[in-house]
Structure 1
């Protein structure tokens, strides 16, 4: 018999295969109205932004506890089951690069974003790991931090991590 947690994970995890509006194909997972791809490549934060846009999505914006918990669940499954992921931290689309200490989602990263889309939006949902953000010099970019149980942590934007891309199923 499977443990209840695994059963819940399997029920809530839906592959994007057969989802015509997901740019990530069978490598993505869906939650709500979004499709997500966990990227194997080691990328700086700006490279991760560009990579996700090239795939037809954007670096993930985590906007609720439910969405964050889903992504934590997938990250933990990958950590346990996918040995090809040698770095276990993941970039997300949150930064204080514009105004120090004001954590905002970077706007207009999608190629098909409407021209009137907000350029930056202060984050209404954040869930920092212990001692985070520590804002040591030039730690302006945010990722899900393995040592902080995949809560938010800040790093220098040049640090090479994995990334999570997001695609709205409506696009």
Structure 2
């Protein structure tokens, strides 16, 4: 009796063999079968995982960190802008609204208008005691403000030529440079040094006698002080 022999083609992988040969023998008949082996030494997850997802996953923490840094700078800039606005508003508010009671605000200063009368020297001493001085008028706006606030009253201002006749100086020792606010009496321009002893200036608000007039320093009159907010003594 002759034996039947069957052959099957067997392929072997060079890298990672995933096939095995099964030898089956029954009696005189020998059969070779090709068997595929599923799986490998590598974990399935490492084979199936997409390469692009892995790269994105590795890059994500760095991108997130850069985004956080940008947002942090945005918040810092916004905080600085808010701080500038708060400081600006505070300065504006302080200039206009923090003058003490009985003092009236104008631009960067506060002004006090007395209700009692004194001579020029005592008026200046009282202004100094309150942290200021008799008003020094430096602009047309300030002149108009004083005229309105004075309300048809006469007030001493911080201008005198008591040291040298005709050489008018403010109480801070600065020289009078613009004489345009001097008033006029009976068609004659002030100062006129009437009777030879008018060495101090007074602000008149009467419609007929409006402006500055030189008056005897010993006369009693109301007085107007000016001061910076921080210097005022209550």
Give yes or no for contact 1:143–1:154 (8 Å, CA) kept in 2.
yes
Q: Secondary structure at the match of 1:157?
A: coil
Choose the corresponding residue for 1:141, options 172, 179, 200.
200
Give yes or no for the alignment of 1:53 onto 2:107.
no
Alignment gaps of 5+ in structure 1: 1-13, 80-87, 108-119
Cα distance in structure 2, aligned partners of 1:170 and 1:68: 23
Give yes or no for the alignment of 1:169 onto 2:222.
no
Q: Secondary structure at the match of 2:127?
A: helix
Structure with a larger share of its residues in helix: 2
Tell me how far 1:18 sits from its aligned partner.
5.3
Give yes or no for the alignment of 1:63 onto 2:138.
yes
Tell me how far 1:125 sits from its aligned partner.
3.1
Give yes or no for contact 2:133–2:171 (8 Å, CA) kept in 1.
no
Cα distance in structure 2, aligned partners of 1:52 and 1:106: 11
Tell me how far 1:97 sits from its aligned partner.
0.7
Alignment gaps of 5+ in structure 2: 1-92
Q: TM-score, normalised by structure 1?
A: 0.70
Give yes or no for contact 1:49–1:58 (8 Å, CA) kept in 2.
yes
> Looking at both structures, which has the greater relative contact order when contacts are Cα pairs under 8 Å and sequence separation is at least 6?
1
Choose the corresponding residue for 1:101, options 162, 166, 171.
166
Tell me how far 1:46 sits from its aligned partner.
0.1
Q: TM-score, normalised by structure 2?
A: 0.52
Q: Which residue pairs with 1:41 in the alignment?
A: 116
CA RMSD of the aligned region, Å? 2.1
Count the aligned residue pairs. Answer: 131
Poorly superposed stretches of 4+, deviation over 4 Å:
none
* Deviations 1:10-64 (CA, angstroms, capped at 9, x unpaired): xxxx9x8951xx4xx2101111111000011111000100010111111110111
Cα distance in structure 2, aligned partners of 1:66 and 1:45: 24
